[in-house]
Amino acid sequence: MSDPTPWIVAEDSGAVRKHAPATLRNREAIAAELATLLPRQGAVLEVASGSGEHAAFFA
């Protein structure tokens, strides 16, 4: 038995990219929490971001 993959392949302007459905469900809550923890300005390094959707949303 194989583990289910959280990725759904999506098409964006003809390019195939990965989409994680959980991103849409939790990005607002994560952004709100990060706003209380991080300074208003500065650089942040995100490591192992998976699809990168959270990083794109936060940017």
For residue 46, is it within any domain? Answer: yes
DSSP structure string for 16-33: EEEE-THHHHHHHHHHHH
Amino acid found at 21 = P
User: Which residues constitute the domain of residue 32?
Assistant: 8-58
Provide the number of structural domains found in the chain.
1
Q: Is 6 left (phi over 0), alpha (psi -120 to 50) or beta?
A: alpha
Q: Decide if 26 is inside a domain.
A: yes
Say if 1 falls within a structural domain: no
pLDDT by position in tens, the chain (length 59):
555 566 666 666 666 677 788 888 999 999 999 999 999 898 888 887 777 888 888 88
Q: What is the pLDDT of residue 15?
A: 64
Q: Provide the pLDDT for residue 36.
A: 95
Is residue 3 a part of any domain in this protein? Answer: no
SS3 for 9?
Answer: strand
Measured in degrees and rounded to the nearest 5, phi and psi for residue 53 equal -65, -40
Q: Cα 32 from chain centroid? A: 14
